[in-house]
Copies of this chain bind each other. A is one copy, B any other.
Amino acid sequence: MATTPHRIVIVGGGFAGLWATRALRNAPVSILLIDRANHHLFQPLLYQVATAGLSAPDIAAPLRHILRRQDNVEVRLAHVQHIEPEARRVVLDDGCDVAYDTLLLASGATHAYFGHDDWAPFAPGLKTLEDALLLRRRLLLAFEHAEAQSDPAAQQAWLSFAIVGGGPTGVELAGTLAEIARHTLKREFRNIDPATARVRLLEAGPRILSAFPESLSRKAHRQLERLGVEVVAGAPVEAIDAQGYRSNGTFVPARTVVWAAGVAASPLARSLGVELDRAGRVRVAPDLSVPGHPDILVAGDLAAVTQADGKPVPGVAPAAKQMGTHVARTIRDRLAGRAPPAFRYRDYGNLATIGRMAAVVDVHGFALSGLFAWWFWLTAHIFFLIGFRNRLAVLLNWAVAYWSYQRAARIIFGRAPRAEARGPSEAG
């Protein structure tokens, strides 16, 4: 009784960190979970908050509440400044530091502009709730700006939207935005017809949803076009500013550009002083520990893991959860004096939603698309949402949205943009 329990510090309450914490609930350890936000976020539905279908609290639950009955956990709302691996401590930006026996780094990823950080103010990305609310504001304000213009060219520029990146997030955003323009806003404006809005989905590579089989990419492409999205493949973006973007040498006016193209690992990894991959992720050993630092484990989007077949583990929610659970096993095995096994990713398949009643699902070569895939996607997402109340609220919102084409959260926070703040700064 007198010995201090093994002290574990977990940085990040996303899928990896939270799953690790919960899997250690019966272990003889003392856990400190540190996150910058007070909530766990169900990231797969973040685009619904950005497109006004859900309220922010619908897809988030306070970490303290989720873990209130797990007595070996303390939750701390704080920024981590850096790690000191030699001293075995985590330094917070309020000057405090916390010591660990084992550290789990699960601080995830943020969006990256591949050396073009100057594009950030003109093309916001989507990783946090704050990002989603900012994006919602931008998307809804664009229609308001168009309504207030008298010059047709200026109107059309405000009614032009570009989504950069044809991965699942880009596809979801483009499909939903087209639905908003064509259906949700019907009859609400007097000077513009929102249905004339152009939504372009720009993909640098030859096809969208490149992680899916080619046949599903083609189906998704067609389904998006039916919803009113212009899918432009082979269109790397060369420049972005407040007026639009340039691609393949041509400048296209578009006052609203959204970045869904790239992610980079949390900069915290750099303070470890170990080898990182090109995206800034930590190359971990098969048991997810950091080479040379067995007391540091990395899980989730921050970990670069190569499977036995040479393929990398993808940066998706199921992989993060599996890594979190695996890390907990590693810690328990070590405490019990057993050798922990290597991490093995179980790929249950890939799914992406496109819009109203359209999705693509790929489960080990078993391909689905259209309405049935959409039901599959819906069921899976509702099922995995944390918290009984959230599931009910989300189902309710979706049922109403489905029948009425209305979106429950069409609220612009912050006041109307002031005259002096046209362009990107209005969103601040």
Contacts and interface: CB of A to CB of B under 8 A. Distances in A.
B396 A408 contact: no
A39 B396 contact: no
Contact of A397 (B65, B393, B418): B393
A64 to B, nearest CB: 4
Contact of A416 (B52, B77, B418): B77
A375 interface: no
A60 B76 CA distance: 33
A38 B151 CA distance: 23
Contacts of A396: 389, 392-393, 396
B411 A79 contact: no
B79 A415 contact: yes
A400 B406 contact: no
Interface residues of A, number: 61
Contact of A77 (B58, B144, B413): B144
Contact of A419 (B76, B94, B141, B392): B94
A412 interface: yes
A313 interface: no
A95 B148 CA distance: 12
Interface stretch (A154-162, A184-192, A320-328, A348-356): A184-192
Interface string A352-387: 000000000000000000000000000000000000
B412 A64 contact: no
Interface in A170-201: 185-191
Contact of A148 (B62, B76, B133, B388): B76
Given A55-B57, A68-B188, A78 B413 contact: no
Interface in A127-178: 129-130, 133, 140-141, 144, 147-148
A189 B64 contact: yes
Contacts of A95: 419
A123 interface: no
B39 A412 contact: yes
B400 A39 contact: no
Nearest to A140: B38
Contacts of A416: 35-38, 77-79
Nearest to A415: B36
A389 B393 contact: no
A414 B130 CA distance: 6
A388 B400 CA distance: 9
A409 B64 contact: no
A275 interface: no
A55 to B, nearest CB: 4
A137 to B, nearest CB: 10
> Among A38, A76, A396, A414, which residue has the most Cβ atoms of chain B within 10 A?
A38
Given A38-B144, A148-B78, A393-B396, A188 B415 contact: no
A414 B133 CA distance: 11
Contact of A129 (B56, B60, B74, B411): B411
Contacts of A419: 79, 92-95
B74 A190 contact: yes
A283 B396 CA distance: 46
Question: 5 shortest A-B CB distances, which residue pairs?
Answer: A94-B419, A55-B55, A57-B409, A64-B188, A68-B187
9 contacts: A38-B410, A52-B57, A55-B57, A64-B188, A65-B406, A75-B188, A76-B148, A79-B419, A389-B406
Interface of A: 35-39, 52, 55-58, 60, 62, 64-65, 68-69, 74-79, 92-95, 129-130, 133, 140-141, 144, 147-148, 185-191, 388-389, 392-393, 396-397, 400, 404, 406, 408-416, 418-419
